[in-house]
Amino acid sequence: MNTKCLDNVLLALVIVGAVNWGLIGFFRFDLIAFIFGNMSWISRIIYALVGISGLYLISVFGRIRSIGDEEA
């Protein structure tokens, strides 16, 4: 899997996590727990994948910065 594809998949996971946190913050509604059960093994895997995806996407800042340096 190339880096661009991986970035897109992980970005989608982070967006799902952000939407879920927005729903929790505004409406006290946990979409992941509603769909997969409260702290079931599937929901725990999804939460873990969202967290790992967010950590990985920190590297995007470095890549964006290096692209900007090349253009200048």
Mean pLDDT, consecutive 10-residue stretches, the chain (72 aa), reads: 84 94 96 93 94 90 72 62
Q: At what angle do helices 41-71 and 3-27 cross, to 10 degrees?
A: 120
Give residue 41's pLDDT.
95
How many domains does one find in the chain?
1
Query: Which residues, at least 6 apart from 53, have a Cβ–Cβ distance to it below 8 Å?
Result: 10, 11, 13, 14, 17
Give residue 4's pLDDT.
82
Give residue 51's pLDDT.
94
pTM for the model stands at 0.79
Amino acid (one-letter) located at 19: V
Give residue 63's pLDDT.
77
Contact 49, 32 (CB under 8 A): no
Give residue 2's pLDDT.
78
Domain of residue 62: give its range. Answer: 3-71
Give residue 62's pLDDT.
76
